[in-house]
Amino acid sequence: MKLKRIIAAFTATLMLVPLTACNGGGMREYYKNQSLDKLYDKFDGELEGGTAARPITLRVLENDTAKSSGYLKELLDGFNAAYADKYIVAVDANQDQFSDLATDGPYGYGPDVLYQANDMLMKYCDGKHITPLPVDKLDAYEYLPELAKKTYTYKLDGEEYFMGVGVNIQAPMLYYRKDLIPENWETEWDDNGNGVFDPLEDMRAMYRFSLARRAANPENYGFMQSYDDPYFACGYLFSYGAYVFGSDNTDTTDIGFENGDASRGAGIILQLAGTMNKGCVDNSITMSREQEFAAGHYFAVPNTQDMYGTLLSETVKAYRKQGMNAGEAKRAAEENICACPMPALPKSGDLTERDGELIDSTVMGGINAYAISSYTKHPKAALAFLNYATSYEQVLRRNEVLGIAPARSDCNEACTVQSNVAHSLYGMAEENRISIMPSVFGVDRIWTPLSTAFSDIANDPYRPGAEKYTKGGKPDYDALQKLLVEVDENIYSAIYTLAGGDK
Amino acid sequence: MENTIVEDTSYHGKKPIGKRLATYFRNIPHRFCAFFKRLGGKFAAIPKRIARRAEYVRKAPKAVKASMCLPGLGQIMQKQIVKGIIFLLLFAAYVVYMVLLGGKAMYNFFSLGVIPPNPWLGIKGDNSVMMMLLGILAFIITGFYLAVHFANIRDAKRTHDYVARGNKTPNFIQSLGSMFDKYFYVTALVLPIVGVFVFNILPIIFMIFLAFTDYGGNIVSTGALVSLIGFDNFAMLFSMGGLLGSTFIKILGWNILWAVMSTFLNYFGGLGIALLLNKKIVKGKKIWRAFPVLAYAVPGFITLLAFKFMFSNLGPINYYIELFGGTGKMFFGIDSKWSARLIGWLVNAWLSVPSSMLLATGILANLNPDLYEAAKIDGASAWKQFIKITLPFVIFATTPVLIGQFMGNFNNFGVFFFLRGGIYVDGYFLASDTDLLINWLYNLSIDNNYYSLGAAISIIIFVIASVISIIVYVKSPSYSKEDMYR
Amino acid sequence: MSEKISKADRLINRRIKKSRVGKRVTVKKAAECFFTYLGLIVLAFIFLFPVLWLVLAAFSESGSMYTFKGFFPSAYSFETFKNLFTDTKMYDYPRWFGNTMLVATCSAILGSLLVILTAYVVSRFRFPARKGIMKATMVLGMFPSFMAMTAVYLLMTQFDLINNLAGLVLIYAAGAPMGYLTQKGFFDTISNSMYEAARIDGANNLKVFIKITLPIAMPMIIYTLLTSFTWPWSDFILPKLLLKNRDMYTVAVGLMSLGDTEFARFAAGSVFIAVPIIILYFALTKYMVNGLTAGAVKE
C-alpha cells in the first residue's frame, strides 16, 4: 500500500513539473525588460587586433555584380593593406547575396558585415540581427541625404536607431538605344518642340512609338517590360497615389495599393502590355531583355543601375558581330546606351489620348547599404571596414566599376559613370518620386500577390474574347479597382490571418 | 448487425471483385468494434501486467536484482567483469549526460525558455525551438538508455539461468561472439535505428509538437520565445472564415485526383512501353530502351526547368505555334488552371514512366510463356491475352510498388514547384490552383513562415495517408505472405 | 526415323500454313510491324527530344534561351563549356562537381550498407520488434519530409555540421534505411536452406552475412548503390538548406543559383552533370531491371 502511495506521489510530481514549467512558468515577464543603455559600448575603445599568427577575420557579404566585376576584390585588398598592421583581414563571405541573416546569424554562420538592399536589411531589425550604428563614429553620415537616413532609421519604444550606411540609390530608370531613334524624330516625334525625343518624356508618345516600331517590323518593339516583377511594376500605381503601407510605410494594417487613382496606373500596365508580346506576362522579357536590347529588337527597357554593365557588354558583343572592332564597339555602346527617368504619365490614365495633363512618374526604389551583424565578434573592426567601404574614394570607385548611383551627396556630385543617372536619381529622391521599399515586417508578403495581380492585368490583351479588365477597347477601371482591393485584402490576410500578426 | 465476419461461401476459388469489395465494406463496422475491444482489453489488462512485473521483480535472483538497481552490477557479481563494466560505463555516461544536459533539456522542453534573445547586447537568450528539439532528443536518449537497462536485466537473468543449468559462465569473448551470431540482428540494427531515430523520427516528433505552438510569422524571423498554445492551429484550420478550410478541401481534392491520374498514367504508360518493346518483331530492343532510360537519368529538377522554359510564353512551343499561324498559349498563366495541370501530368509521366517501364520489363520477363501458348491454342485474341493473363499478373505482382508510386505522386513536390511556382490564385490562401498539399505546405512554412500551421496541416495529411497505407500494406502480399518462397 | 517424319511434317505444316493464312496475314503483319515501329519512333522522339534540346542549348552562343529561333540556338559555340570550367570566379562549377561527387559517393556507400543490413536482418531474422519496425517505417515514410527540415537544420547547427559535406552525407545515409522494402523483397526470395547449410558448417551469422548473403545480393547491392547515388546527385533542397558557402555547393544548388541570363551555362552544367548518371544507367540497366523487379514480384 505504501509503495503505491509513493508511486502515486512520484507520478504526481513528475506531471507537475511540466505544468509549472510550461511556457516559462511565468518567469518570462521577469526577463522581458532588457536595458539598452550600454548598446553602443561595444564600439568604444581600442580597435580589436589580431596577431600575425591569428589575424581577425571579417566576413563580408557583397552582391553578385560587385563580385563578378572585380570591385569586391579591390575593396578587400585595399582594406587589408590599410589594416595589415592590425592584422585584420576582410574576406568574401562567399554566400548567396540574398542569404538570410535571421537564419544564419544566431548560429554563427552569418557574415560580419553585409551589403544588401533596405528591404532585406531592415527586416532584420525586429529580431535585432543587425546592430545599431553609432552615428558619431560614421564618417559618411553627414554626407547622406535625408532619404537614406530616414530609410535606415529603426524606431523601437520611442527611440530611434540608425542601422545602415547607404551606398547607392537604386530605382528603375528607362534605358534606351540612342541609335534606334528615328532620324526624322525632330519633325515627327517632338510635338512640344523642346528638343527631346517625345517617347522619353511622355509615355503616350512611347506607346505610339512602340506601336509604330512594331508596325514597321514585327520583330521590333519599343518599350518592353515583364510585369511579373512587382518591383518594376509598382511605380505605375504609385504615380497615381497608391502606397504600400500607411503612415510612411510603417503601418502594415493599412495597405494602399488601391489608394487614389491607382486603377489608372493598372490601366497603363494593361495598355502597355498590349504593345508588347506575351513575354510581358511571365518573366520572359526579364530573362531576355539584355540580349534583345543589344540586338536592337527592344528600343527601351526599365532597368536598375547595377545592370548597366550587362547591357553594355551585351551591346558591345552585338556591335562586334556587326563588324566593329573592340574599341569602336565599346565607344559606340557607351554612346548609344542612355538612361533617363521613366516618362511622364497621362493624368487620365489613357495612353491613347494625345493631349491632356501629364503627371510625373514615381518608381519604387531601394537604397543598398552596409550594415553590421549583431553576431560579429569584432564590432570595432567591422565598423572600421564599414567606414572604409563607405568612404568617398571607395564609393566613387564603386561608381566607376559598377555604374551605381552614389547615395553620398559628395560622391553623387563627383561621380563619372552614368553621372546624369545619379544626379536625376538624387533629384527624384528629393522630389519624392522614389518610393522606397518598406522596411517593416510583412513587406516580404507583398510580392507574390502583387506579381500575380500584375501578370493578370498584363494578360488581358492576350485573352481575346475573354477579357477581364477591358471594356470597349479601354481599360475597365472598375474591374481593375476591384482587383487592387483584392490584392490589398490578400496581402492583409497573408500578414494577419494567422499567428504572428498580433501587432 | 450481427457481430461476425461475413463470409461468402457460394464461390469456389476467387470471388468476383465486386463481391469481395462488398464483403470488405460490410465487415468494416465489425472490424472497427473488434479493434476497440482489443484496445479496451489491453487497458483492462494493465493492472494484471503490473502485478506480473512486480512478481518478476520480487522473485528475481540477487544478481538480477542488483542489475536492476545498478546496471552491470549483476554481471560483475556473476564474474562477467568486462561486460559489467561496459554496462556500468553506459549507465555512467547516461547519468553524466542527464546531470549536465539532459535534465535541463527535459525541463526546457516544457518551459521553452524564459530569456528573450537580444543580439544587440550580446545576450544569446533562449532559443525555444532548439530547446524543444533538444528536449525531445533527451527523451529519446532516455528511451535508448532504458532499452540498454532492460537488456542489462535480461542479460543478468539469462546468465543466471544459464549457470543455474550447470554451465560455465560465458567469458567476455564468448559474449562478444554471440553479438555477431545469436544477437546479430541487434548489432546490425543499432546503427540504422540510431540514425533513423536522430535524423528521421526526431524531426517528425519535433514537427508534431510544433503544431501545438505559435511558432510562425514574426516569431520565426525575430527568434522570439515560443509558447505552447494547444489546439489553436487546428481550430484555425477548421474555422477561419472558411478561406483556410476551403483551400485545404480544394487542394486535397485536386491532390487526390492528381495522385490517382498520375499513378494510372505512369503505371500503364510504363507497362505499355514494356509490352511494345517485348514484341517479337522489335529488333534492337536495347537501343529502343535506351531512350526512356536517358530520360530517367537526367536529374528531375533539370528536366522540369527545361520544360518550364519550353512552355514559357516566349518559349519554343509558342514560337512554333505562332510560326504556323496559331495564337500562342500561356500554358502556365494565371487562367491556365487546366492546361497547367495537364502539362504537369504529362511532364510527370515523362519523368516517371521510364522507371515503371524498367519495372514492367523485369516482371514480364518472369511471366510464364506457357500461359500465352495455351491461350493462343484456345484462340484468345491479343487483347484478351493482355486482360486475362498479363494484367492480373503484373498488377498482383506490383501492388506494393503501386502504393509507393501513389504516395510518391501524392507528395510530388517538384512538378508544380518548378513549373508554376510563385502564383497565388484568388480563392486560395497562399496557394495556386495547381499546387498540391505539399506545395501549399511549402508556401505556408518556407515562404510565409507559418511553420506551426504547416505542421498542423501535415499532421492531418499524415493521418489520412498513413491510415490508408497501413491498411493496404498489411493486406498486401508483401506483408502477409512474405514467407511464401521459403 | 523420327527425323524423317518430322521433316515431312514440317513441310506439310508449312504448306497448310501458307494455304490457310494467305496474303491477308502478311499485310496484317506488315501493318503491325509498321505501327509498332511508328510507336517506337514516336516514343524515342518524345524521350530524346527534351534532352537533345538541352544539349543544343548548352552549345548556344547566347546566354538567353529566348534568343533561340524556336528550339534551335541562332549560333553555336563551345564557349559556354569552356566558361563552365574556366570562368570560376562567380560559379565554381568544377568545385561543385567535386563536392557532388564526394557527397553522392560517400552517401551511396554508407547508405547502401545500412539499407542492405536492415533489409537482410528484417527479412532473415524473427525478433519481437520486427513487425513493429516494419509498420513504423511504412508510416514514417508518409510524412511530408521537408516539414522536418527546420528540425534537421537546428540539429545540424548543434552538431556544427552546417557548411559541411559530411553533414549531408550523414543525413542521406541515415535516412536510407527507411527505403529498405525493395531490398527486403529481394532477400525474401532467397531460400532459407542456403543459410542453414552454412550454419550447420559452423559459420556464425556475421560470417553468413559476409560470405553468403553479400555475394548473392550483388545485383541488389549494385541497384542500391545506384539509386542511393542518384538521390544526392540531384537533390537540391537539403544542400540548399545546409550549405551556406558557395565553395561548398553541390551542382544542383549551384545551378539553381545561376543568374537570369545564364541559361546556356545552366544547360551546359546540366548536360555535364547528367553524363555520369547516364553512363551508370546504361551500364547497369540490367541491374536496375532486376533490382526493381526483385522488390516487387510477389506471388
Per-residue model confidence as pLDDT tens digits over A115-139? 998 888 888 888 889 999 998 888 8
Residue A52 lies in a domain: yes
Highest mean pLDDT among A45-54, A387-396, C17-26: A387-396
- What is the pLDDT at residue A501? 37
Which parts of chain C register pLDDT below 70? Answer: 1-25, 63-67, 260-261, 292, 294-299
Residue A456 lies in a domain: yes
- What is the pLDDT at residue B375? 78
Residue A269 lies in a domain: yes
Q: A-C interface: how many C-beta pairs under 8 angstroms? A: 50
B112 close to A (CB below 8 A): yes
Residue A383: is its pLDDT beyond 90? yes
Contact predicate B125/B169, CB 8 Å:
no
Q: What is the ipTM of this complex?
A: 0.82
Question: Torsion-angle region of residue A467: left (phi > 0), alpha (psi -120 to 50) or beta?
Answer: beta
Chain B interface disruption, residue of C142, C181, C280, most B CBs within 10 A: C142
B449 close to A (CB below 8 A): yes
B486 close to C (CB below 8 A): yes
Number of residues written out for chain A: 503
User: Which residues are bridge partners to A154 per DSSP?
Assistant: A161
Q: Which of A382, A402, A431 is the last residue of a domain?
A: A431
Q: Which of A404, A431, A458 is the last residue of a domain?
A: A431
| 3-class SS letters over A101-122 | HHHHHHHCCCCCEEEEEHHHHH
Amino acid at C201: D
Residues of C in contact with A279 (CB under 8 A): 66
Residue B376: is its pLDDT beyond 80? no
Residue A126 lies in a domain: yes
pLDDT band at B1 (very low <50, low <70, confident <90, very high): very low
- The residues in C 194-233 lying below 8 A from A, measured between CB atoms, are none
- What is the pLDDT at residue B486? 46
| 3-class SS letters over chain B | CCCCCCCCCCCCCCCCHHHHHHHHHHHHHHHHHHHHHHHHHHHHCHHHHHHHHHHHHHHCCHHHHHHHHCCCHHHHHCCCHHHHHHHHHHHHHHHHHHHHHHHHHHHHHHHCCCCCCEHHHCECCCCHHHHHHHHHHHHHHHHHHHHHHHHHHHHHHHHHHHHHCCCCCCCHHHHHHHHCCCCHHHHHHHHHHHHHHHHHHHHHHHHHHHCCECCCCHHHHHCCCCCECCCHHHHHHHCHHHHHHHHHHHHHHHHHHHHHHHHHHHHHHHHHHHHHHHCCCCCCHHHHHHHHHHHHHCCHHHHHHHHHHHCCCCCHHHHHHHHCCCCCCCCCCCCCHHHHHHHHHHHHHHHHHHHHHHHHHHHHHHCCHHHHHHHHHCCCCHHHHHHHHHHHHHHHHCHHHHHHHHHHHHCCCHHHHHHHCCCCCCCCCCCCCCCCHHHHHHHHHHHCCCHHHHHHHHHHHHHHHHHHHHHHHHHCHHHHCCCCCC
User: Would you state the cell numbers that stand for residue B306, as one nine-digit string?
Assistant: 527545361
Residue B13: is its pLDDT beyond 70? no
C86 close to A (CB below 8 A): no
Residue B293: is its pLDDT beyond 50? yes
Alpha-carbon distance of C206 to C212, in angstroms, equals 10
- What is the pLDDT at residue B346? 93
| 3-class SS letters over A376-415 | CCCHHHHHHHHHHHCCHHHHHHHHHHHCCEECCHHHHHHC
User: Would you state the cell numbers that stand for residue B456, as one nine-digit string?
Assistant: 498542423
C67 close to A (CB below 8 A): yes
Highest mean pLDDT among A45-49, B119-123, B166-170: B119-123
Strands A56-61 and A113-117, how do they pair? parallel
Nearest to A279 among B221, B224, B314 (CB): B314
Chain B interface disruption, residue of A3, A498, A502, A503, most B CBs within 10 A: A498
Q: How many domains does chain A have?
A: 2
Clarify whether residues A254 and A219 are in a common domain: yes
pLDDT digits 0-9 by tens, B36-48: 888 888 888 888 8
Looking at CA atoms only, how far is residue C202 from chain A in angstroms?
50
- State which H helix or E strand residue A332 sits in: helix A326-336
C77 close to A (CB below 8 A): no
Contact C138 B177 (CB under 8 A): no
Alpha-carbon distance of C45 to A149, in angstroms, equals 60
Nearest to B313 among A39, A42, A284 (CB): A284
Backbone angles phi, psi at A212, to 5 degrees: -65, -40
Q: Which of B292, B222, B260 is nearest to B402 (CA)?
A: B260
Residue B2: is its pLDDT beyond 50? no
Residue B382: is its pLDDT beyond 80? no
- What is the pLDDT at residue B481? 55
- Rounded to a whole number of angstroms, the distance between the first and last alpha carbons of chain C is 44
In A, minimum Cα distance to C154 occurs at A107
Chain C interface disruption, residue of A94, A277, A290, most C CBs within 10 A: A94
Chain A interface disruption, residue of B46, B108, B109, B111, most A CBs within 10 A: B111
B99 close to A (CB below 8 A): no
Residue A238 lies in a domain: yes
Clarify whether residues A344 and A390 are in a common domain: no
What's the distance, CA B314 to chain centroid?
40
Looking at CA atoms only, how far is residue C4 from chain B in angstroms?
26
- What is the pLDDT at residue C298? 45
Residues of C in contact with A57 (CB under 8 A): none
Strands A173-177 and A298-303, how do they pair? antiparallel
**Under DSSP, is residue A47 helix (H, G, I), strand (E, B) or coil?**
coil
Contact C162 A107 (CB under 8 A): yes
Contact predicate A266/A490, CB 8 Å:
no
Alpha-carbon distance of C254 to C274, in angstroms, equals 15
In C, minimum Cα distance to B476 occurs at C298
C69 close to A (CB below 8 A): no
Contacts of C131 (CB under 8 A, 6+ apart): none
Query: Could you tell me how many helices (H) and strands (E) chain A has, helices first?
Result: 21, 19
Q: In this predicted model, which residue has the larger pLDDT, B130 or C141?
A: B130
Residues of B in contact with A464 (CB under 8 A): 327
**Under DSSP, is residue A11 helix (H, G, I), strand (E, B) or coil?**
helix
B221 close to A (CB below 8 A): yes
Alpha-carbon distance of C263 to C66, in angstroms, equals 9
Clarify whether residues A247 and A266 are in a common domain: yes
Strands (E) located in A62-136: 88-92, 113-117
State what percent of residues in chain B have pLDDT above 70.
91
B331 close to A (CB below 8 A): no
Q: What is the mean pLDDT of residues B61-65?
A: 85
Of the listed ranges B58-62, B79-83, B392-396, C86-90, the one predicted with least confidence: B392-396
pTM value?
Answer: 0.84
Contact predicate B11/B19, CB 8 Å:
yes
Residue with cell 494493465: B46
Looking at CA atoms only, how far is residue C91 from chain A in angstroms?
10
Of the listed ranges A196-205, B11-20, B22-31, B354-363, the one predicted with least confidence: B11-20
| CATH number of the domain that residue A52 is part of | 3.40.190.10
Clarify whether residues A459 and A396 are in a common domain: no
pLDDT digits 0-9 by tens, B230-258: 888 888 777 756 677 788 888 989 998 99
Residue A471 lies in a domain: yes
Residue A302: is its pLDDT beyond 80? yes
Average pLDDT, chain B: 82
Helices (H), chain C: 2-58, 79-86, 93-124, 130-140, 149-158, 165-175, 181-188, 192-200, 205-207, 214-216, 218-234, 237-242, 251-256, 263-296
- What is the pLDDT at residue A502? 38
Clarify whether residues A227 and A258 are in a common domain: yes
Q: Which domain holds residue A145?
A: 46-163+365-431
Residues of A in contact with C63 (CB under 8 A): 291
In C, minimum Cα distance to A95 occurs at C245
Nearest to B191 among C37, C114, C155 (CB): C114
Residue B54: is its pLDDT beyond 90? no
Contact B453 A499 (CB under 8 A): yes
User: Which residues are bridge partners to C60 per DSSP?
Assistant: C76
Looking at CA atoms only, how far is residue A111 from chain C in angstroms?
11
Residue A13 lies in a domain: no
Backbone angles phi, psi at A377, to 5 degrees: -90, -10
Using the 8-state DSSP alphabet, how is residue A344 labeled? B
Q: Which of A379, A397, A431 is the last residue of a domain?
A: A431
pLDDT digits 0-9 by tens, A320-357: 888 888 888 888 888 889 888 889 999 888 888 888 88
Clarify whether residues A370 and A483 are in a common domain: no
Contact C54 B366 (CB under 8 A): no
Contact predicate B261/B345, CB 8 Å:
yes
Q: Which domains does chain B have, with CATH numbers?
A: 69-210 (no CATH), 243-480 (1.10.3720.10)
pLDDT digits 0-9 by tens, A352-377: 888 888 888 888 888 999 999 999 99
Q: What is the mean pLDDT of residues B21-49?
A: 80
- State which H helix or E strand residue A244 sits in: strand A243-245
In B, minimum Cα distance to C158 occurs at B130
Residues of C in contact with A76 (CB under 8 A): none
Clarify whether residues A244 and A350 are in a common domain: yes
pLDDT digits 0-9 by tens, B179-205: 787 888 888 888 898 898 888 889 999
Chain C interface disruption, residue of A59, A67, A71, A96, most C CBs within 10 A: A96
Residue A18: is its pLDDT beyond 80? no
Residue A94 lies in a domain: yes
Alpha-carbon distance of A290 to A311, in angstroms, equals 5
Contact predicate B424/B177, CB 8 Å:
no
Looking at CA atoms only, how far is residue A58 from chain C in angstroms?
15
**Residue A159: other Cβ atoms inside 10 A:** 10
State what percent of residues in chain A have pLDDT above 90.
19
- What is the pLDDT at residue B240? 55
Clarify whether residues A291 and A387 are in a common domain: no
Residue A500: is its pLDDT beyond 70? no
Alpha-carbon distance of C85 to C89, in angstroms, equals 10
Alpha-carbon distance of C25 to C135, in angstroms, equals 55
Strands (E) located in A85-191: 88-92, 113-117, 153-156, 159-162, 165-170, 173-177
Alpha-carbon distance of B53 to A481, in angstroms, equals 74
Clarify whether residues A311 and A406 are in a common domain: no
In C, minimum Cα distance to A284 occurs at C66
Alpha-carbon distance of B440 to B247, in angstroms, equals 9
pLDDT band at B133 (very low <50, low <70, confident <90, very high): very high
Residue with cell 500584375: A454
Q: What is the CA radius of gyration of chain C?
A: 27
pLDDT digits 0-9 by tens, C74-128: 778 888 888 888 887 788 889 999 999 999 999 999 999 999 999 888 888 888 8
* Sign of the C-alpha dihedral computed for residues C9, C11, C16 and C21 taken in this order: positive
Q: What is the mean pLDDT of residues A188-197?
A: 84
Number of residues written out for chain B: 486
In C, minimum Cα distance to A70 occurs at C89
- The residues in C 263-292 lying below 8 A from A, measured between CB atoms, are 263
Alpha-carbon distance of C183 to B75, in angstroms, equals 38
User: Helix, strand, coil: what percent of chain A each, to 5?
Assistant: 50, 15, 35
Neighbours of chain C (3+ CB pairs under 8 A): A, B
Residue A464: is its pLDDT beyond 90? no
Looking at CA atoms only, how far is residue C263 from chain A in angstroms?
9
Looking at CA atoms only, how far is residue C167 from chain A in angstroms?
15
Number of residues written out for chain C: 299
Residue A289: is its pLDDT beyond 90? no
Residue B310: is its pLDDT beyond 90? no
Clarify whether residues A77 and A198 are in a common domain: no
- What is the pLDDT at residue B458? 86
Q: What is the mean pLDDT of residues A50-60?
A: 87
Alpha-carbon distance of C201 to C184, in angstroms, equals 25
Q: What is the dihedral of CA B337, B343, B346, B349, to 10 degrees?
A: -80
B371 close to A (CB below 8 A): no
Contact B473 C138 (CB under 8 A): yes
Nearest to A278 among B216, B228, B314 (CB): B314
Alpha-carbon distance of A120 to A129, in angstroms, equals 11
Clarify whether residues A321 and A289 are in a common domain: yes
Clarify whether residues A376 and A492 are in a common domain: no
